Amino acid sequence: MRLGGRVAIVTGAGQGIGRAIAEKLSSDGAAVVVADLNAATARATAAAVGGLAYPVDVSDEEQVAGLASAVRETYGRIDILVNDAAIVPFVPWDDLDFAEWRRIMSVNLDGVFLTCRAVYPDMKAAGYGRIVNITSNVILAGTPNLAHYVAAKGGVFGFTRALATELGRCGITVNAVAPGLTASEGVLAGPHADAFDFVVSLQAIPRRGEPADIAPVVAFLASEEAGWVTGAMIVADGGHTRH
C-alpha cells in the first residue's frame, strides 16, 4: 500500500506481529514510531525500520500521553495508530486470580482506549486518521485457557465498532484485524506453541501462520485507499474460524 508521508505508531512493535507490521508500514513509505514496553527490542525494530523507538507501558495514562506528544513534536502529525501490544497468559479460567485478570484488561483493553484517546486530537484536527486494533480469532473460537484474553480482545472489537461510529465524521476509520495462532516470538516461547498441530489441522490452509501473514492486512486498513472500510474486522487465520 502507498503510505508515503504518513506517520504511524505501532504498539508492541519490538517483536512478533507488531514488528512485522512496523516493517511493512515502513517499507510502504510510512515513518514508524516503534512503541514497546521493552526498550531494547523497541530500539532494535526502530533501527531496522529507520523509525523512532519509544519505550512505553500502554496501560499507563501518562506514558501514553508522553508517546503522543513525542510523536507530535518529532513529526508534527499522527496519521496511523496500530494497537498490537498485548499479553497472553495461558491459564484455566478458575486458576487466574483477580489481580491477573485486571492486569490483562489493563494492558490489552485499557491500553487501546488510552492510545486512541491520546492520538484522537491530532487525527481530529487533521480530519484524517487510520486506527487498526489487533484483536484475535479467539473471540470467535472461545479458545480454552484464554478466557481472560478472549474477554479483553472481545472488548477491543466492541470498542473498535463503537469508536468507528464516533469518528466516521472526522475522517478517521477504526478497524480490527483478528489473527489466529501465529508463530511470533511470544507464542513460540510459551505453551501456545504446543497448539500448532491442532490449530493447523483446523485451518483451511495447513501451515503455521507467520507475523508476515498479518502485516499486509494491517497495511491495507492503514492506507488511504481503505477509507470506506470502518468498524470492520478482518480475520487473518488461514481459514481456522471461517468467520
Which ranges of the chain would DSSP assign to H, the alpha helix?
16-27, 39-49, 61-75, 98-105, 111-126, 138-141, 147-167, 185-188, 196-202, 211-221
Residue 88 lies near ligand 4PL (rule: CB under 6 A):
yes
Nearest distance from C-beta of residue 171 to ligand 4PL, angstroms = 31
Strand order in the sheet with 31-36: 52-55, 31-36, 7-11, 80-83, 129-134, 172-179, 233-236
- C-beta of 92 vs 127, nearer to ligand 4PL: 92
Task: Report the C-alpha gap between 166 and 135 in whole angstroms.
Answer: 19
Q: Tell me how many residues contact ligand 4PL (CB under 6 A).
A: 10
Which candidate, 214, 207, 226, 224, places its Cα nearest to that of 184? 214
Cell numbers placing 24: 511493512
Residue 149 designated active-site: yes
Residues between 127 and 146 with contacts to ligand 4PL, criterion CB under 6 A: 136-138, 143
Nearest distance from C-beta of residue 143 to ligand 4PL, angstroms = 5
Nearest distance from C-beta of residue 132 to ligand 4PL, angstroms = 16
Nearest distance from C-beta of residue 192 to ligand 4PL, angstroms = 5
| Beta carbons of 175 and 115 less than 8 angstroms apart | no
- C-beta of 158 vs 171, nearer to ligand 4PL: 158
Residue 183 lies near ligand 4PL (rule: CB under 6 A):
no
Interface ranges with ligand 4PL (CB under 6 A)? 88, 136-138, 143, 180-181, 192, 195, 199
What are the catalytic residues? Answer: 149
